[in-house]
Structure 1
Amino acid sequence: MMLGMIWAQAHDRVIGADGGMPWHLPEDLAHFKRTTSGSAVVMGRATWDALDPRFRPLPGRRNVVLTRQERFAAEGADVVGSLEEALRLAGDDGWVIGGGQILVEALPRADRLVVTDIDLAVDGDARAPAIDDTVWEIESADPDRGWHTSRTGLRYRITAYRRRG
């Protein structure tokens, strides 16, 4: 089983604020779609709720929502109560996409990380886990040095990591 994790983060590993992403980066959304299409995506309830209802469930992917709310329903998605069950449903090719608590919980099980760093200082209430360079090594970086500039003016770069050993 290959378990990947994918997220975008601003400075200080901020991934969310008030139930949403505090930026708009269309190039990263396109990259996310290319990377996760055809695979299962595992997310927390708040991440599901933050998705634009027009794109919920995320098309071309099995959507698995992890929640502690016993009566929660997510039309078009599988709803589970444990990370173990979510990963079982994700099968051999799954991506954990957030939020922060689920990223932290899934990190020890992941084989690959794909992280978009955004050159933006913003307050937030959800953070990604720290990436320990004794555990993770860079597989690729785009661009190799410096930053891309989005059509929205934000600077960003995408780094893929693989577990060492």
Structure 2
Amino acid sequence: MDQLINDFSLGLFFWQLVIFIGLIFLMAKFAWKPILSSLDSREQGIVDALAAAENAKLEMVNLEASNQAAAQEARVHRDEMIKEAREIKEKMISDAAGQAQEKADKIIASAQEAIESEKKAALADIKSQVAELSVSIAEKLTRNELSEKDAQLALIDKMLAEANI
């Protein structure tokens, strides 16, 4: 360190100071502005990138909310369709049951009518047979002697026995 102090020259120091100040002046004039503008543009690029990232994040949130709303709407639409399908199914079942009941009622009514007509025909047949038997019995009674009461009763019993066979 002593040697530096001993070798100190005022002229050399002056020229070094002039060169240093000139270098600072040249740097300020030609290099400082491009460096600062480069740093400003880089800073602006970072700010823009952060803003774009924030916008993308907001868009993602909005898109997610939109997707959830669309999914909810789809669920509601699906539920409405299922409800409508169930109502249609129930209506079809009730209509089919009503038609089946109507057909069954018609079949029962026609069967009752058929039974009633068969019953009337059977009663008419029975009445005609009873009339024929009565006429036949009366005919046979009038042919035989009707003087004896026991003979009449025996003849009626015999005719009834023949009629039951």
Give the greater-gyration-radius structure (CA).
2
TM-score (norm 1): 0.13
Q: Which one has more relative contact order, counting CA pairs under 8 Å at least 6 apart?
A: 1
TM-score (norm 2): 0.13
